[in-house]
Chains A and B, each alone.
Chain A
């Protein structure tokens, strides 16, 4: 479960970088650097881990929402935000 969350954090960072106009190599490097960083391993069994792992996805959703003026991405960002707030105050 935690390992898959790490992988998801990497994929999210890849999506964020691609959405900001970075090439595939740069996005892959960034994704691997973030998912393998010491911080995420350190917090892997803490509630804050989910929040930190979901940040790139939230930024990706916000970026796409503003770029495409998309209601779908607004709802998606809201869902991630809701999940994060629930986790933070659980």
Chain B
């Protein structure tokens, strides 16, 4: 998942760069350098992994990634521990409190508000980045939580080898990035400057973490 997101980000940056300068050779060359260094550094570990993969009894079966949650499991995005305390008990039946998915979402309620704000803010700085992270959020939230059409992402090769638990982190990550862009909206011409600015930020975070 890490590699997939990095590759998507790179391809998007390269497409943007190409539309501006019309040259992608150097970017491609640098990408090859990056890939080679990554492979060289991890070659030993990868070789060992491939060697012992066949003997593993915990190897993931195909279609592992096709199992997705229902959309209502997204509720903890707005209220932490909505379904109960992780690792203790959930009041809702059909899921173990040891399931990471419901507890993987919450990253502050003001984060959600600021992320929504940036969606509505047409003059956001570097709006292209905003659109990219919105797309990431929609695709991963839609896939992990069974939105129509997007729930079939798990049927694609590679994606079907991995549980949705390991891709759920993209949701709070994309939200926090979007909230950063949304925070710029509050730093307009009438912005608070100096030390009070940090007080302001702390208050926002306290409000954000109030329910945690």
Task: State the A residues within 8 Å of B (CB).
Answer: 13, 16-17, 20-23, 25-34, 36-39, 42-43, 48, 51-52, 54-56, 58-59, 62-63, 65-67, 69-71, 73-75, 77-86, 88-90
Contact = CB atoms under 8 A, between A and B. Distances in A.
A33 B206 CA distance: 11
Contacts of A67: 13
A15 to B, nearest CB: 12
Interface stretch (B41-49, B58-66, B67-75, B145-153): B41-49
Interface centre among B36, B40, B126, B179 (most CB of A within 10 A): B179
Nearest to A38: B106
Interface centre among B34, B38, B86, B104 (most CB of A within 10 A): B34
Contacts of B108: 33, 36-37
B131 to A, nearest CB: 12
15 contacts: A13-B180, A21-B126, A22-B181, A38-B103, A39-B105, A39-B107, A43-B169, A55-B173, A58-B6, A74-B34, A74-B37, A78-B35, A78-B41, A79-B41, A81-B34
Interface residues of B, number: 66
Contacts of B173: 34, 52, 55-56
Contacts of A16: 177
B121 to A, nearest CB: 12
A23 B184 contact: yes
Contacts of B201: 25, 28-29, 32
B172 A86 contact: no
B209 interface: yes
Given A21-B126, A77-B34, A81-B37, A30 B46 contact: no
Given A34-B173, A56-B173, A59-B6, 15 more contacts: A16-B177, A17-B180, A23-B187, A32-B205, A34-B176, A37-B107, A37-B176, A38-B106, A52-B169, A55-B2, A69-B26, A74-B37, A77-B37, A81-B42, A89-B49
Contacts of B175: 33
B89 interface: no
A19 B169 CA distance: 21
